[in-house]
Amino acid sequence: MGLISKDQKSGSFAESFLSILQQDSNLQVEDVSSGVAEVLSIKFQKEQELTKNAAQVSSIVLKNHLIPLIEDIIQEEKQVTHSKISLECEELLSSPEKIKELLPKGLHADEVDCCYAPIIMSGGKYDLRPSASSNSDKLKYDTIVVSLGARYHSYCSNISRTLFINASSEQEKAYRLLTKVHHVAIQACVPGAKVSDIYKAALAVIQSKDPEKESNFVKNCGFGVRHCCCPSHGLDWS
């Protein structure tokens, strides 16, 4: 029996299923996470299009809803918690009636959903792991980190941004460095490149420009997919 070990399993069915597995001493259970990831990392042309659509939705919601919402909170000096902002954004992504007003022609609101509860952080408390969540603290008007992910036709995307309110000179310096890192990482994204090599290229910029910042750099540069130009082998995408 193969299981994805890190996957969070909840609900009565999952609990009963896992309980039965534990009772059967003759059943060998193996972690198949890497194998499943290897298979799902390959994206056919139609899947690539759906992934791009998901990314487009994430970008639209961030630019036309979440950022204006945060700007309004700051301008009006409202006292709003991170979790409330997250919930409002999640409800937008999960409601076809609400999201259709933001979507361009060609994208269907019924196919849009939320990948995860949007993450809003400020006030010096930051968790850059994908598993992070919004806490109940009120939004601080300092450095705000936001992440959200839209799902389109079951294909997911993710986008994150850092908003500076009255940034210090040290923050501006760090931002300029990260801009260079981002540029180099994009340049390293060429056909056949290993994701690990892209990370090494990004890390090399920090090591050469400001070595003291290396300990503060994240341990990966995001997620990678493998594109495939082959036919979809008869799969029905209707």
For residues 155 and 188, membership in a common domain is answered with no
Kind and range of the H or E run holding 30: strand 30-31
pLDDT above 90 (res 64): yes
Q: Are residues 109 and 212 in the same domain?
A: no
Long-range contact set of residues 199-207: C-beta below 8 Å, sequence gap at least 24: 205/177, 205/180, 205/181, 206/177, 206/181
Q: How many CB atoms lie within 10 A of CB 57?
A: 27
Q: Last residue of some domain: 166, 186, 215?
A: 166
Verdict on whether the full-model pTM lies above 0.85: no
Q: Of the candidates 61, 52, 63, 111, which has an alpha carbon nearest to the alpha carbon of residue 90? A: 61
The answer on 185 and 102 residing in a single domain is no
The number of domains in the chain is: 2
Predicted confidence at residue 232, as pLDDT, reads 43
**140 and 186 inside one domain:** no
Q: Over range 163-190, report the average pLDDT.
A: 93
Domain encompassing residue 206: 168-232
Average pLDDT of the chain, as a whole number: 89
**Same domain membership, residue 177 and residue 150:** no
Q: Looking at residue 184, what is its pLDDT? A: 96
The 3-class secondary structure across 138-196, one letter per residue, is ECCCCEEEEEECEEECCEECCEEEEEECCCCHHHHHHHHHHHHHHHHHHHHCCCCCCHH
pLDDT in tens, 10-57: 788 988 888 888 887 788 888 998 898 888 888 888 999 999 999 999
Q: Is residue 13 part of a domain?
A: no
Task: State whether 147 and 176 are in the same domain.
Answer: no
Q: Is residue 77 part of a domain?
A: yes
Q: Where does 62-104 have alpha helices with state H? A: 67-75, 82-94, 96-99
Same domain assignment for residues 172 and 154: no
For residues 89 and 150, membership in a common domain is answered with yes
In a domain, 67, yes or no: yes
